[in-house]
Each structure stands twice: as C-alpha cells, then as structure tokens.
Amino acid sequence: MTHPLSDRINSLPISQTLAMAAKARELKEQGIDIISLSLGEPDFNTPGFIKDAAIEAINQDYNSYTPVDGYVELKQAICTKFKRDNDLIYKPNQIVVSTGAKQSIANIAQVLLNPGDEVLLPAPYWVSYSAIATLCEANFVEIPSSIDDDFKITPSQLEAAITTKTKMVFFNSPNNPSGSIYSEKEYRALANVLENYPQIYILSDEIYEHINYGVKPFSFAAIKSMYERTITVNGLAKAFAMTGWRIGYLGAPHWIAKACTKMQGQITSGTNCIAQRAAITAVLAPVEKVQYMVDEFKARRDIVLDLLGNIDGFKLNIPEGAFYVFPDISAFFGKTINGVRIENANDFSLFLLEKANVASVTGDAFGAPNCIRLSYAASELILREAIKRIKRALS
Ligand code: GLU
C-alpha cells in the first residue's frame, strides 16, 4: 500500500550514515557480532569540565525557553572563539546557535536557495548536503575529485561548474569523508575564481576543525573578499565528543543570520538550555584540553593506514584530519569474492557487512562511487579486529 506522503519526503534519500549505523545496531541486537565503523562519532566521553557546567546549569534552574538564536553569553563566547582560532570578527548578532551543525546547514539552505538554483558540491561531500539542497528544490552539481588529487578540486574545475544558476558552493575542510584539508593557498585560489561571480554564496563547514594532524585548517571567511558572502558553520560534536548534545552554530553576515533565526523560530525555536550553558564552557576552553582525543585519533589513523595498506586492492591516501579513511576499492569491481559478485561500492560495503561483519558506508552516498568510508573513531583493539576480519573475508 502506498501511503499519501508528500512528494518532498518521497524524493528525499535516507541518510546513509544513519541508515548503516541503524542496520549495524539492529544486527547487534539480533546477537550478531558486528563492528560498526559506519558512524562518525567520537568514542570518548564528553570531558568532565563540560559535564560539570551542564550539571551546574540544571542546579541553577536553567529550564525555560532560550532565545531562538542562542543565549547572548554563548554567542559572545562563539565570537571569542572565531577570533581566537580563525581570525574572524563576528558580532553576536551574526551568530545563530542551532540543534547541531546539521540544522545550521539546513537553515542556511532554506533561507538562500530557491527552486532551480544550483549548489556546487566538491565531491566527496557529506551525505546530507545533497539531501538538504534537494529539500529546497535546488539542484546539486557534483564536482568530482579522486584519491590521486587527494580528493581536492582545482580552481579550473570550480570555474567550469559555475553557471548562471549557481547560487551556492559548499566547502568542507577537514573533509568528511576524505579527511583532506585545503591549505590557505588552495582556498585563496578557489576564492580568486569566486571573486568573478558575486552572486555565489559559500557555506564553509568547519566542524572537524580541531581534528587535524598538524595542518591547521583555514577558514574561508578569513579571505577578505569572501567574508560578506561566506557562512561559517561549526559545532561541538566532534572536537568535544558531544554528538548527542546537539550544539551547532554559524557566523554569517547579519542579514543571513537574521533570516536563519526567523526560519529556526518556526521550526525548533532555541536549542536546549542545558546544552547551551555547557557549550559556553566548551567553546571558551583552550583547545589543548581536548588534544588527547586528537592525539589518539592520529595514532589510530596511522594503525589503520598501515593495516589496510597491507590488503591488496585498497588504495589509500593520507587523511590530514577528521576520523575517516576513504579508500578507493574499485580494484574489486567485476570480481567474485567468497561467492559474492562485487560490481560497485554498495556491493563492497554490503559484502563487508555480511562476510566480515564490519559496517562501513558506501562512497556512493558521498558522491564518490569508487570508495568506501571507514570511521576510525573506535578503540585500537576494535580497529585491529575489524581489519583482520576484512582481510580474512577478502582472502
Ligand atoms: N556526521 C556524522 C557522519 O558523517 C554523523 C552522522 C550524520 O549525521 O551523518 O557519520
């Protein structure tokens, strides 16, 4: 039976990261020993000093509706952070706090995109970008890259993708899923192209900013000519192990921030009061306080690269940030392994789930059909076991 759902929801693809995580959870509940490397979620606990701030907020009776765009103290703290880490000057009226960076991105798309507008997505890109554009009836245009280019696009590729309908481009560095980081020089070269197209707005998703292994990410809005048309998105989930607290934020020209506040005011209102009070402490904390997680992620990355590098058919590059590896596994296409025919990355990801009991996410969902994503936000023991299983299933 077909239910009378809207065309909008019927045309929306399901989030592949969340779907795979749900599938892994379901199989585990059935008693199957699944290792899930599907979801991008730190396996650390939220640091104690942030939890203490939340407990204090509860005891101080923070329980009422919050201002739609966030507590002013939090917005001030975010301005301090932008200045400290990114050399960006924002005033509190340019900041909007949301229920996760995902909502910040959805707000921006909703307030800037009209049906038929084009959104450029340098691929690989995070799964929800394309879906969020689709929800606005905009068309997304992928700009492909490959592992040989370190998954980065060039200025001439960007220029070639621009049409009279282009309204936005979404940048994400450090990148989910590839872990690549655009250098300041590379971003400036892309900005040189965009300078000729004043109608294009830039969404710079910097959620993995602090998870970098030595290359300090550069903020797109720090390029003077881009500041007035760049929206900088960030959040607490990844660097502070606060995925479930749902705190994201954006810095933008005031007119865009104001429109996002209007949108949010009709959909969710201000985000959770306790999480916001704790966020003030997190945002103002010296970055060194969470460096132990980054160090651990780096050690795991090196182990994963080393072990996967020993499996024939896995082509790898060195991710400079985030906590994913994104191997090109197209060498397996057209082969039958362990009785299973592999034609594409979806087949390969399914093969890993069924024959190795390891959950990954197909590169297809990220606009990179030759790859799969494995998250190494898991303990060394689990990672070693997962790769042992993958190797066994493939041999
Ligand atoms: N951003 C994370 C990921 O890519 C969390 C899941 C999601 O919201 O997509 O796995």
Looking at the fold, whether 213 and 349 belong to one and the same domain comes out as no
Query: Is the CB of 40 within 6 Å of ligand 1?
Result: yes
- 66 and 117 within one domain: yes
- 230 Cβ inside 6 Å of ligand 1: no
d(CA 99, CA 276) in angstroms, rounded, equals: 10
ω before 177 within 30° of 0 (cis)? Answer: yes
**262 and 133, same structural domain?**
yes
Ligand 1 atom nearest to CA at 361: 10
Q: CATH no. for residue 304?
A: 3.90.1150.10
Instruction: Check residue 158 and give its pLDDT.
Output: 98
Please indicate, yes or no, if residue 1 is contained in any of the structural domains: no
pLDDT score of 12 more than 80: yes
Q: Is the CB of 131 under 6 A from ligand 1?
A: no
The finding on whether 237 has its CB within 6 A of some atom of ligand 1 is no
Asked if 302 and 175 sit in the same domain, the reply is no
363 lines ligand 1 (CB under 6 A): no
Residue span of the structural domain in which 390 resides: 7-45+290-394
Question: Shortest CA distance to 315 belongs to which of 145, 148, 124, 144?
Answer: 148
CA 165 centroid distance within chain: 25
- CA separation (Å) from 280 to 177, 185, 194? 28, 32, 34
- Is residue 241 in some structural domain? yes
Query: What tens digit of pLDDT does each residue of 292-318 get?
Result: 999 999 999 999 999 999 999 999 999
Give how far Cα 128 sits from Cα of 97, 109, 140, Å.
19, 12, 12
The verdict on 208 and 125 lying in the same domain is: yes
Mean pLDDT in residue range 167-195: 98
pLDDT tens, position by position, 212-242: 998 889 999 999 999 999 999 999 999 999 9
Q: β-strand 201-205 against 230-235: which pairing, if any?
A: parallel
In the reported structure, the alpha carbon of residue 213 is separated from the centroid of ligand 1 by a whole-number distance in angstroms of 20
Q: Are 99 and 276 in contact (CB under 8 A)?
A: no
Number of domains observed in the structure of the chain:
2
Looking at residue 215, what is its pLDDT?
Answer: 86
Residues 338 and 306 in one domain: yes
The CATH number that applies at residue 258 is: 3.40.640.10
In a domain, 107, yes or no: yes
Model pLDDT, residue 2:
82
Tell me if 131 is assigned to some domain. Answer: yes
Atom of ligand 1 nearest to the CA of 128: 9
365 falls within a domain: yes
Instruction: Give yes or no for residue 192 CB within 6 A of ligand 1.
Output: no
The count of other CB atoms within 10 Å of the CB of residue 370 is: 20
> Do 366 and 256 share a structural domain?
no
Per-residue pLDDT at 1 exceeds 80: no
281 and 188, same structural domain?
yes
Q: Whose CA is nearest to atom 3 of ligand 1?
A: 40
Task: Provide mean pLDDT across the span 102-118.
Answer: 98
* Ligand 1 atom at shortest distance from the alpha carbon of 126: 4
End-of-domain residue from the set 286, 306, 335: 286
DSSP 171: E
In Å, the largest CA–CA distance within the chain is 62
| Structure confidence at residue 216 (pLDDT) | 87
Ligand 1 atom nearest to CA at 39: 10
Q: Are residues 85 and 127 in the same domain?
A: yes
Q: Decide if 72 is inside a domain.
A: yes
β 248-251/340-342 pair status: unpaired
d(CA 314, CA 302): 15
Task: Write down the pTM of the prediction.
Answer: 0.96
Read off the tokens for 338: 């362990």
Task: Give me ligand 1 centre to Cα 378, in Å.
Answer: 15
- Spacing, Cα 381 to ligand 1 middle (Å): 23
Phi, psi values for residue 172, rounded to 5°: -150, 105
Looking at the structure, do residues 102 and 175 belong to the same domain, yes or no? yes
pLDDT, position 229: 98
63-78 tens-digit pLDDT:
999 999 999 999 999 9
Domain boundary among 267, 286, 305: 286
| Per-residue confidence band for 147, with pLDDT thresholds at 50, 70 and 90 | very high
Report the distance separating Cα 104 and Cα 177, nearest Å.
Answer: 19
* In a domain? residue 87: yes
In ligand 1, the atom with minimum distance to the C-alpha of 38 is 10
Q: How far is the CA of 67 from the centre of ligand 1 (A)?
A: 27
Digit-coded pLDDT (tens) for 357-387: 999 999 999 999 999 999 999 999 999 999 9
Q: What is the distance between the alpha carbons of residues 12 and 18, in angstroms, rounded to a whole number?
A: 14
In a shared domain, residues 308 and 239: no
The response to whether residue 15 sits with its C-beta less than 6 Å from ligand 1 reads: yes
Question: Which of residues 218, 252, 286 is at a domain's end?
Answer: 286
Distance 275 CA to ligand 1 centre (A): 19
- Residue among 16, 17, 205, 234 whose CB has most ligand 1 atoms within 8 A, to mutate: 17
| 2 within some domain | no
Q: Name the residue of 18, 39, 205, 243 to mutate for ligand 1: max ligand atoms within 8 A of Cβ.
A: 39
254 and 128 in a common domain? yes
Distances (CA, A) of 48 to 45, 54, 289, 315, 379: 8, 10, 11, 39, 20
